[in-house]
Structure 1
Amino acid sequence: MNSSIKPPAKEALKPITSSTTTPRLLPAALALPPKWLNMYSDFITKNQSSVTQIESALRSLTYIIPGRFRDAELASESLHSSIQLLSMYHDTLLTRAISKLPGVPRQQSPHNRYTKFWIAKSKFYRRVATILAMIQYTELLWEMMAKRKGERVRWRIVVILEAVKAVCRLCLLRITNSRPLVSPALPEREIIPEEEAPTEEKELEMEEEVRPREREYKMKRTGLSLPTLPNPSDISSYLLSKVLTADDIKAPNTLLNKVNGSAQLAEILHVLQPVIYAIAMSRSKDKKNWQPWLLGLSIEYAARKLRKDGLRTTALEREQWSKRGWAMGWWTMRGAFYENVTKGFLHSTSDRLPSLISGVLDDYLYLWDGYYFSTSSN
């Protein structure tokens, strides 16, 4: 008897291949990294205070680990540089989140107003400032890796890094139309207001704030109500919070005056001084030789003397020049001054301290003895 059942078609017997599913899975796989980045950005934005505390704890840990710069100097400095770079990325995320907040922008420091203005105005400024910050965070790590290949390679890397930083600073000077350099060139981290659930104490405070408003005096003819006066003990702080200073109403680009003449020459000398000092140190075979140290310090001192203080000096200019003044204290930890004066004093002091404190100090003495960027202030 002939069966009426037909054999299955050849197409139906073919195995299912992934040729049809691969094109569908590929876009989904490519969409995962941006999705993860967005989730990470939201997490950082919503947990800013916790992230900042973790960064500070990790950064402090790399400072106080015993033997940090001896047995595991490269690994420890790699961790420290990675934390700094990650913190810079977090600053970018938080700055972007703050710019999207609704309402009137909060009061910002002159430094942040100035740097944010140039970042928004010039993409080239943002790229150059980012490169400069990345070099500053990783320069000691580069020197440590180069030192393993010899002193000659190490000093070559030091001179190259100082030259690249000088080029970046000259570019920033050009982009900002000959305005003084600010340190850091990127905005500093700001605090994002976090929404907190109202507690019982806050609810009572809100009720107390609402009650006086119920007793506000309402004018009969106009129907307007007079606001309640603040607490007599807080009148001064209340008035100061409502006052705008001259820098608050200035345009961001006017927070620093343009430099010209001798002031511009002073800024250029300030930029070139680390390069000249690094070249002099690389050519000096004796660490106790005073010539490189005197050359670098004299250039920095000449740059400060050529600067002119006028009546139009802004608060941001005074702040930046104060930072440069304090940074000159690092010259006591460099070159011949360190080898002839500071080094002996610190080693003798370390012998008198308790073992725990002297151990940490000895780790830093090892760092200051052997690396150029450990005492660099630029």
Structure 2
Amino acid sequence: MLEKYEKLLVLDGSGEDRIAEIEKILSGLLFILPCRFRKERVVSEAVYALLLFLKHYHNQVIYKYIKTLPKHVQRKITTPYAQVIKHFQAKYASYKPVSDMLFVLQTSSFPAELFVARTSPESQEDFVLVVEATKALLRLYIMYLTSGRLPLPSNVLGRDFNRKLFAECMKQYTLASSVTTLPRTGKQLPQLSTVQSPSQHVRTHVTEYKCLVPTSKLFPKPNRWQQLANTIKVLRPFVYVVLERYWRRFRGSHGRKHSWVPWLIALTLELSARAIHISQTGKNKAYSYVKTLQDQVYATSFRRFLNWAMLQGRYFDQFTSKIITFCALWLGRLPLLGSLIRSALVDFVQTCQDFYFFISNY
């Protein structure tokens, strides 16, 4: 059954577009699910988590067929980010299981928190602490495997390859009638009848600069200061949860749900790690392309932190929630969809205040 489904997905080299259409339809249905299951948030979020797992399966199918293409075509289709992950998976046997475990934990933590909050509300904070501690241990283990490199975010939610080039190469190399196999070497070459233009043939066969850079050099080993910055970034969520739990249980919030201290300490840790990284980045200029890839990973991580900081802790209570509530009241005056938008924004604010993993998973 699964084999037939896989063949259907990659039929005629347009599998990625077909997968995107399937996921777009399912994602559209998710906008209805929170309304249908408003009283059953666990069911709604569980369905959303299943969609993420389906995307993970689709990615595995696509990369499975990419591996059937010639090596030089694989290097052109996949991005440096995907090449680094593939290099780590080939070099370290435990890298992929630990990364998959981290992805599963990241995806299922919010539905699990909803379930714990419903069945045992007094254990919700302990559950959050245990999950963040487990995530920190998994990320530290990945850092240990990769010589202190920052754990790369999962590429499950994105198609980390050249989509157009993938479709062209699948049409050229997967159809038996469009491929010529050399008798001695066994190398497969596309027939001229399958090449639409000289530019297409050049785009799929001429080696680019990124293909010449060794995979081990795409994400170089950090020095001690960079390893310190990476460790700070990895431990920052766990430190924040510990401080929040301490302030609520032992220091008291004086009528407020959150204190400024944990949020400010988390902000200080993140900015310190970023400052250390920036100060050390300019010392290695051997590969300008490498620097771009490394900076891209850190920039993505910092953008996620800014999103987290605006929707978490005392800052959210003091500023962001009030802004969203004001927008909800203003948009609620609109005809037709006004009441729906208002209820969605109010529900968003309430969920941010009640559940930690609703924001931390973004």
TM-score in same-fold range (> 0.5): yes
Question: RMSD value over aligned CA atoms?
Answer: 3.1
What amino acid is aligned across from residue 367 of structure 1 in structure 2? T
Aligned AA for 2:90? A
The question of whether the paired residues in 2 share the 8 Å contact of 1:70 and 1:363 is answered with no
Distance in 2 between the 1:69 and 1:272 partners?
Answer: 35
> Is 1:317 equivalent to 2:291 in the alignment?
no
Q: Does residue 1:178 correspond to 2:176, yes or no?
A: no
Deviation (angstroms), 1:104: 3.4
Which position in structure 1 is the counterpart of 2:79? 109
1:342 is aligned, of 315, 320, 323, to: 320
1:261 is aligned to: 224
2-side partners of 1:187 and 1:65: how far apart? 20
**Residues 143 and 371 in structure 1, CA contact (< 8 A), matched pair in contact too:** yes
The match for 2:181 is none
1:258 counterpart SS class: coil
Q: Which residue of 2 aligns with 1:369?
A: 353
Q: Separation in 2 of the partners of 1:162 and 1:130?
A: 16
Counterpart of 1:56 in structure 2 is 24
Q: How far does residue 122 in structure 1 lie from its aligned partner after superposition?
A: 2.3
Given candidates 118, 124, 147, the residue that maps to 2:88 is: 118
Per-residue deviation, residues 73-131 of structure 1 (Å, max 9, x unmatched): 11110100011012112211221121012473241211011111112232200101111
Cα distance in structure 1, aligned partners of 2:57 and 2:148? 28
Structure 1: which amino acid aligns with 2:27?
A: R
Measure the CA separation in 2 of the matches of 1:167 and 1:185.
20
**TM-score normalised by the chain length of structure 2:** 0.76
TM-aligned CA distance change 1:44 to 1:342, over 3 Å: same
Distance 1:175 1:276 in 2: 23
CA shift for structure 1 position 63: 4.1
Counterpart of 2:330 in structure 1 is 352
CA distance in structure 2 between the aligned counterparts of 1:103 and 1:259, rounded to whole angstroms: 28
For residues 346 and 88 of structure 1, the distance between their equivalents in structure 2, rounded to whole angstroms, comes to 32
* 8 A Cα contact 1:333 1:342, kept in partner: yes
8 A Cα contact 1:67 1:363, kept in partner: no
With over 3 angstroms needed to count, the CA separation of the structure-2 counterparts of 1:118 and 1:256, relative to structure 1, is: same
Q: Distance in 2 between matches of 1:314 and 1:149?
A: 48
- Cα distance change of structure 1 residues 121 and 185 upon mapping to structure 2, 3 Å threshold: farther
- In the alignment, is the contact (CA less than 8 A) between 2:34 and 2:41 conserved in 1? no
The structural deviation recorded for 1:158 is 1.1
Identity %: 23
Alignment partner, residue 8 of structure 2? 43
Does structure 1 conserve the Cα–Cα contact (< 8 Å) formed by 2:143 and 2:149? yes
Pairs within 5 Å for 1:65-144: 65=33, 67=35, 70-102=38-70, 104-106=72-74, 107=76, 108-144=78-114
**Contact conserved, 1:327 with 1:377, CA < 8 A, in 2?**
no
Contact kept? 1:290, 1:335, Cα under 8 Å: yes
1:167 maps to amino acid: L
Q: Give 3-state SS (helix, strand or coil) of 1:284's partner.
A: helix
| Gap change, CA 1:366 and 1:76, over 3 Å in 2 | same
Give 1:338 deviation, angstroms. 0.4
Contact 2:117-2:124 at 8 Å conserved across structures: yes
- Shift of the 257–69 alpha-carbon distance from structure 1 to 2, 3 Å rule, reads farther
> Structure 2: how far apart are the matches of 1:54 and 1:333?
31
Q: How many residues align?
A: 310
Whole-Å separation in 1 of the counterparts to 2:320 and 2:37? 20
Please tell me whether the aligned partners of residues 88 and 95 of structure 2 are also in contact (alpha carbons under 8 angstroms).
yes
Cα pair distance change 1:188/1:152, threshold 3 Å: same
User: Would the alpha carbon gap of residues 132 and 68 (structure 1) be closer, same or farther in structure 2, given more than 3 Å must change?
Assistant: farther
- Structure 1 contact 74–141 (Cα < 8 Å) conserved: yes
Contact 1:112 1:188 in 2 (8 A): no
Q: Which stretch has the larger CA shift, 333-342 or 351-360?
A: 351-360
Shift in alpha-carbon separation, 1:45–1:64, aligned structure 2, 3 A: same
Task: State how far apart, in whole Å, the 2-side matches of 1:102 and 1:328 are.
Answer: 39
| Higher gyration radius (CA) | 1
1:254 positional shift: 1.0
Partner of 1:18: none
Pair 1:251 & 2:214 matched: yes
Query: Shift of the alpha carbon at 1:65?
Result: 4.3
CA contact (8 A) 1:112 1:187 kept: no
Deviation for aligned residue 1:244: 2.6
Tell me which moved more, 359-368 or 249-258. 359-368
Unpaired segments ≥5 residues, structure 1: 1-35, 198-205, 211-227, 231-237
Aligned equivalents of 1:80, 1:267: Cα separation in 2: 30
Distance 1:377 1:77 in 2: 12
- Contact 1:169 / 1:181 at 8 angstroms: preserved in 2? yes
Q: Which residue of 2 aligns with 1:17?
A: none
| Mapping 1:234-313, distance limit 5 Å | 244-245=208-209, 247-285=210-248, 286=253, 287-307=257-277, 308-310=280-282, 311-312=284-285
Structure with more of its chain in helix, by fraction: 2
Cα contact 2:72–2:207 (8 A) shared by 1: no
